[in-house]
Amino acid sequence: MKRVGFLFIVLIYTNNILGQGFFEGNDIISKTYSQRWELDSIDKKGTFRLVSYKSIYVAPARWTSNPNEKPQSENPTNSATETIDYDIVEVKFQLSLKTKLLQSIFWGKGDLWVGYTQIAHWQIYNEALSRPFREINYEPEIIFKYPLHIKAFTGEFKSIGISFTHQSNGRELPYSRSWNRVIFDLSYEIDSWIVSVRPWIRLSDGEKDDNPAITDYIGDGELNLSYSYNRHQFYTVITHPFNQFQGGSVQLNYIFPIKGHLRGHLQAFQGYGETLIDYNNKQTTIGIGVSFANW
């Protein structure tokens, strides 16, 4: 339990820095899409300011219907031969930050960002296994964003973008998982809604592919839907393969105020690929915790 206490101290300290310094005291949920990505000239803040990217949260209780105790892959060298007795309840947390490298490039409007997201699943309650981290996913990105101001359907297309993303779990065989993608992005804002369509192209890993059929399970793109009301936020991430009806996932998130920048976070997931090691493991999960910065 000392580890959990230390984790909370680190995240609360991070929350204080984000709230007091990088966000200048403003509520991150109240920010418009343009402010989050500094799309308009009035929102430009310069380069090398560290700000939140995706959600930053910790869920002390995350339950799964189907723990992946013997991970398998289409590549035989990446298939486990022994079963591990995992608990169905564990700790999940996510840290996600970004910073702008270049500002106002390409006709004085585009920005180049670098982002980093880390998601950890921690078997903290599993004393029999000495409380190991079951899975940690690392995801660095290079992101280009270009603003749009195209009115449509009483809303506005806000930006187009493209990013190069590497995601891996940093583990040895047979548990190693990784993939590289080029992700395209088109974002639209209407009232308090933000909609982002994000198809991707997976780059080949050749014969050493850890997870050859990953797109058949996780999919070829995602749809992000976000809605904010006062200090409450709802967002959904939906993935799906383009070439079949099976596969994909739905993640539902509800963030609600507790005190200051600290908020509660309720998350539900159903489908494939909550983590890389689970890319072909279908499950339903529910987690409850606190959120420090939101998407």
pLDDT of residue 105: 95
Query: Is residue 261 very low, low, confident or very high in pLDDT (cuts 50, 70, 90)?
Result: confident
| Distance, CA of 78 to CA of 47 (rounded, Å) | 41
| Distance, CA of 117 to CA of 5 (rounded, Å) | 22
Please, what CATH class does the domain formed by 2-293 belong to? mainly beta
| Distance, CA of 106 to CA of 119 (rounded, Å) | 33
pLDDT of residue 24: 38
The answer to whether the CB of 68 falls within 8 A of the CB of 85 is: no
Catalytic position from the list 30, 73, 96, 166: 166
Catalytic position from the list 163, 168, 187, 226: 168
pTM, rounded to two decimals: 0.89
Q: Indicate the residue type of 58.
A: V
Residue 29 pLDDT greater than 90, yes or no: no
User: How confident is the model over 116-140, as a mean pLDDT?
Assistant: 97
Residue 59 pLDDT greater than 80, yes or no: yes
DSSP assignment of 227-247 equals: EEETTEEEEEEEE--SS-SS-
130 catalytic residue (yes or no): no
Residue 23 pLDDT greater than 60, yes or no: no
pLDDT of residue 216: 95
The answer to whether the CB of 124 falls within 8 A of the CB of 90 is: yes
Please count the CA atoms within 13 angstroms of the CA of 173 that sit on its side-chain side: 8
User: How confident is the model over 201-222, as a mean pLDDT?
Assistant: 94
Domain positions in the chain are: 2-293
pLDDT tens digits, one per residue of 153-171 = 999 999 999 999 999 999 9
Backbone angles phi, psi at 282, to 5 degrees: -85, 135
168 catalytic residue (yes or no): yes
